[in-house]
Amino acid sequence: MSNSETKSLLVYDEIFLQNGNLNNLSNLNRKKYFQKKSVLYHLYTKGILSNPEICRITNMSSPSIQKLLNELIGESLVREEGFGNSIGGRRPSLYGLNPGSRYILALNISLNTVDVAIFNINNELIGEINVLHESLANTPEFVEKVYDFCLDQIDKYQIAPEKILGLGIGLPGLTDPATGKSFSYLNYDDKTVREIFEGKFGIPVFVDNDARVMALGELMFGQAQNKSNVLCLNIGAGIGLGMLLNGSLYIGHSGFAGEFGHIKVKENGQLCICGKYGCLETVASGDALIKMAKKQISAGKPTILSQLVNQNLDDLSCSIIAKAAHLGDQMAISLLAITGEYLGKGLSTLIHLFNPEAIIIGGRLSAAGQFIVDPIQQTLNRYTILKIKNDTEISVSMLREKSAVMGAMALAMNNIFDDVKYALSV
């Protein structure tokens, strides 16, 4: 490899290097690194921009910006996007991120499944979300299976692994986003989830609780955009809650806020995964819904559910139950009503406490749409002070199952641009 090639690769890599050898750069090169990365940051957050627009945002001169843009084009990170409207004189050239130049890997790890998504640098999903059906286990074997599955996806979409900037992960249970440590899962050998996955993938890894990751997805790309006080429920195998309060994600004193699924709602209730009895999660989660459905089917109640899974009840899922409800199946509709009533009771407490402007129902159960929102609404009408309740809009996530992986991608990108945000603010 020639010297000039080596040099250009070095600059190329330094642009997105996390916790890398920035300290080894001279002051001049470090300044240039931040200038280039801030151009990328503005193109990432604002979309296509012209040279004069970037000058205005960065307070840099037009020739300096053009030089950076030309270098970034040479490195294939930026591309020309035609011409903007003239404000007197020549129409300005427009610039945007080159979508195929970098990618983000995003995982939503649930108790029984792992959603894997790859996004390009313009936040666009490559192909579709692929699902690994594997029970979450605190073992290297589980991580190995996730790793192999991810490699298959990267290969399937013909993405060069070295173009993957980072990995964002949403994980159930108690998770500290600052350290990437989980107190519930994937913490063997005294390692954090971040350390385990960074060791495996060799790229920067960012981890947070799955419900908070989903809330971030809603904040950046979904119904929580431009809102300040929103509760995002993630109902899949369990029940999680991401709280957007006063415009930012609330993580609590130790990073554990939002364990809404583990408030006690039933005396003498069933044993919960957390070790306590009668938690909301034991009666109103996706797993609880599936258990109820199996019980009623075994008792011989009429339903189309067994037909929808070809008599194989192990294939019952939230989306199948949602589908049955949409087809008019009375058993599915009434089971969703029971689930919605429990959720409504819990949510009425949250509405009294937080006075949110919106509650977004996400996760696998969101496929039920009005069949879950209506019983929640009816229960709220009974248990909530109407003035407060009427100010709260309740809806299912329009991003549906995409919200969690989009949030995981946003978690990674926010962190990857963290140093430049800091540099811009001082």
Q: How far is the CB of 285 from Zn ion (least distance, A)?
A: 10
Rg (CA), the chain: 24
Do the Cβ atoms of 223 and 213 come closer than 8 Å? Answer: no
Do the Cβ atoms of 326 and 369 come closer than 8 Å? Answer: yes
Q: How far is the CB of 369 from Zn ion (least distance, A)?
A: 27
Q: Which is nearer to Zn ion, 281 or 401 (CB)?
A: 281
From CA 358, how far away is CA 398, in angstroms rounded?
13
From CA 425, how far away is CA 234, in angstroms rounded?
33
Q: Which is nearer to Zn ion, 102 or 262 (CB)?
A: 262
Q: How far is the CB of 287 from Zn ion (least distance, A)?
A: 12
Do the Cβ atoms of 233 and 243 come closer than 8 Å? Answer: no
Q: How far is the CB of 104 from Zn ion (least distance, A)?
A: 32
Q: How far is the CB of 274 from Zn ion (least distance, A)?
A: 3
Q: Which is nearer to Zn ion, 32 or 276 (CB)?
A: 276
Q: Which is nearer to Zn ion, 173 or 217 (CB)?
A: 173
Q: How far is the CB of 279 from Zn ion (least distance, A)?
A: 3
Chain contacts with Zn ion (rule: CB under 5 A): 262, 272, 274, 276, 279
From CA 50, how far away is CA 183, in angstroms rounded?
46
Q: Which is nearer to Zn ion, 34 or 256 (CB)?
A: 256
Q: Which is nearer to Zn ion, 54 or 239 (CB)?
A: 239
Do the Cβ atoms of 146 and 107 come closer than 8 Å? Answer: yes
